[in-house]
């Protein structure tokens, strides 16, 4: 193939074309078919350290939670190699502030120990998420081919009115409250990801190799810069 043909070659379709996500806003994931999602960051518990009675109570609470749902949820476990750079930097900053030579030497030894421990041990950091969907009744009544065509085009989500978005936001808040309360009964803490958190979550999911090196700016600062 000649250089001219290579120069005239058109770039392939953007990756976004193959994603089901149309937009991230109002602390929601808006899909191309007009449905929405909320994501909860959930804490973990050490089930093995609990007594038999506590384990049974936790299992029973989990069963009650699942049986109370009349819509599907998604439980996601994300494993990433632990990033200790911020912690190591904090130690370096503390070292600069101290004048005690013995303490400075101990900090250096400790930083080397922690860094080597994480590298050799391949220590992973796990994050737990619960994805809550909301699918309006009007969308459920559409047949398979209508929903398939909507999913292929972001225009459906773009045409949502302010009233429709407000209704989705209100319904989602109710579901988040219900699910959060059920998780609390199991001794778990759940925090809903805001828009910035959702952007970082999906950026990390689709760019695992460069996420630790290329950090995203806060969405509020980006909006300020545009103004």
Q: Is the dihedral of CA 63, 68, 70, 71 positive or negative?
A: negative
pLDDT for the residue 56: 92
SS3 (DSSP) at 199: helix
Asked whether the beta carbons of 14 and 22 are under 8 A apart, the reply is: no
User: pLDDT of the chain along its 227 residues, tens only?
Assistant: 555 555 555 555 556 666 788 889 899 999 888 889 999 999 988 888 899 999 999 899 999 999 999 899 999 998 877 777 888 889 999 889 888 889 989 999 998 888 888 777 677 788 999 999 998 854 455 555 555 555 445 455 557 778 888 888 999 999 999 999 999 988 899 999 999 999 988 888 887 766 555 555 554 554 444 44
The CA-to-CA distance between both ends of the chain, in Å, stands at 46
In angstroms, the Cα distances linking 55 to 115, 182, 196 are: 36, 16, 35
pLDDT recorded at residue 207: 76
Is the separation of the CB atoms in 134 and 36 below 8 Å?
yes
Residue 226: the pLDDT is 42
Query: What sections of the chain are H helices per DSSP?
Result: 3-8, 52-68, 85-97, 101-121, 137-140, 144-151, 155-158, 162-185, 195-206, 219-226
What pLDDT does residue 114 have?
86
pLDDT at 163: 84
pLDDT at residue number 153 = 52
Sequence-separated (6 or more) residues with CB below 8 Å from residue 27:
38, 192, 193, 194, 195, 198
Sequence-separated (6 or more) residues with CB below 8 Å from residue 56: none
Q: Record the pTM.
A: 0.68
Partners of 39 in the β-ladder = 131
């Amino acid at each position: 193939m000649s250089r001219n043909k290579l120069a005239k070659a058109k770039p392939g379709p953007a990756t976004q074309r193959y994603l089901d996500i149309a937009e991230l806003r109002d602390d929601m994931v808006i899909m191309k078919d007009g449905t929405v999602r909320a994501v909860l960051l959930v804490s973990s518990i050490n089930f093995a350290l609990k007594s038999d009675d506590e384990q049974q109570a936790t299992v029973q609470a989990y069963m009650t939670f699942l049986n109370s749902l009349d819509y599907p949820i998604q439980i996601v476990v994300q494993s990433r190699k632990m990033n200790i750079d911020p912690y190591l930097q904090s130690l370096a900053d503390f070292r600069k502030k101290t004048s005690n030579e013995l303490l400075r030497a101990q900090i250096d030894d400790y930083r080397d120990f922690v860094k080597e421990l994480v590298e050799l041990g391949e220590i992973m950091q796990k994050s737990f998420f619960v994805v809550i969907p909301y699918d309006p009744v009007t969308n459920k009544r559409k047949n398979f081919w209508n929903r398939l065509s909507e999913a292929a085009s972001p225009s459906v989500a773009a045409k949502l009115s302010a009233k429709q978005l407000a209704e989705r936001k209100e319904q989602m808040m109710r579901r988040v409250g219900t699910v959060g309360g059920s998780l609390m009964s199991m001794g778990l803490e759940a925090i809903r990801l805001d828009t910035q958190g959702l952007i970082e979550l999906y950026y990390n999911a689709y760019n695992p190799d460069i996420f630790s090196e290329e950090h995203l700016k806060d969405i509020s600062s980006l909006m300020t810069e545009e103004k």
